[in-house]
């Protein structure tokens, strides 16, 4: 503790003494930055396709993913603006959370409307521009372009990074929509049933969840109608 106090006094009264340390750290950061880009790009090229393939091979997750997007689209249509909310799809439902998350009865009503509209042909509701698939697609494109430039030019420069960044941004939206349409969503939800909604946040007993727990989460539980009647006990 006394040592930290001593450093604080030095920084306060003699800041120029720390300039060599700052310069050393900055040079080290710039030296390691290219290697960090290379490692991150190789990691994305390996992991992102496997993650997308895992979703693509699970039709239940894809259908719930479609309903999650549709629910958010319906909510944003009702409010007339972009909401700071997002979701995750699972085999038995989907979760929605965020700072602008409406009350649970509104989320459930929007999910039911979204399901009804999708069953009646509005398959475009399954696509959302801010989907994590689009972000993953942009990261994948950037990583591929970055590695290709590195292989072709045998050196790394700021220009190469900017080119990879610009190309990935130009292709991110269309590529993300293609990934959503053919790999991570499945708009044919005629056999999907909404069962219930439950809260997964903590409000600590206070009646003001928006203030005390702005990042609360709701989970919309779904099931699939197999065409057979269920026996309720």
Mean pLDDT of the chain: 81
- The DSSP result for 96-161, as a single string, is EEETTPPPHHHHHHHHHHHHHHHHTT-GGGG--TT-HHHHHHHHHHHHHHHHHHHHHHSS--HHHH
Q: What is the pLDDT of residue 168?
A: 78
CA distance 50 to 125: 26
- Helices 132-153/19-56 angle, 10° precision: 120
Residue 64's CB is within 10 A of a number of other CB atoms, namely 28
Nearest CA among 70, 52, 46 for reference residue 178: 52
Q: What is the pLDDT of residue 174?
A: 87
Cβ-Cβ contacts under 8 Å for 212 (sequence gap 6 or more): 203, 204, 206
pLDDT in tens, 161-217: 788 778 877 887 888 888 999 999 999 999 999 999 998 754 444 444 444 445 679
CA distance 130 to 128: 6
Q: What is the pLDDT of residue 203?
A: 47
Q: What is the pLDDT of residue 62?
A: 96
Mean pLDDT confidence for 96-109: 94
pLDDT in tens, 17-56: 666 666 666 766 556 666 676 777 888 888 888 888 899 9
All structural domains of the chain with their residue ranges: 33-201+210-224
Q: What is the pLDDT of residue 102?
A: 93
């Amino acid at each position: 503790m006394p040592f930290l106090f001593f450093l604080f006094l030095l920084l306060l009264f003699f800041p120029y003494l720390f300039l060599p340390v700052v310069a050393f750290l900055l040079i080290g950061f710039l030296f390691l930055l290219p290697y960090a880009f290379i490692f991150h790009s190789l990691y994305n090229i390996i992991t992102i396709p496997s993650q997308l393939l895992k979703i693509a091979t699970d039709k239940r997750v894809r259908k719930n993913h479609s309903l999650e997007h549709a629910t958010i689209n319906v909510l944003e249509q009702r409010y007339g603006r972009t909401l700071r909310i997002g979701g995750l799809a699972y085999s038995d439902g989907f979760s929605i959370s965020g700072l602008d998350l409406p009350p649970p009865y509104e989320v459930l009503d929007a999910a039911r409307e979204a399901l009804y509209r999708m069953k009646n042909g509005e398959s475009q509701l399954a696509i959302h521009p801010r989907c994590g698939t689009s972000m993953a697609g942009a990261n994948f494109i950037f990583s591929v372009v970055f590695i290709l430039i590195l292989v072709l030019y045998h050196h790394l420069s700021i220009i190469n990074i900017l080119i990879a960044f610009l190309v990935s941004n130009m292709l991110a939206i269309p590529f993300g929509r293609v990934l959503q349409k053919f790999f991570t969503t499945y708009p044919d939800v005629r056999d999907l049933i909404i069962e219930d909604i439950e809260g997964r946040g903590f409000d600590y007993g206070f009646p003001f969840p928006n203030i005390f727990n702005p990042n609360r989460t709701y989970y919309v539980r779904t099931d699939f109608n197999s065409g057979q009647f269920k026996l309720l006990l």
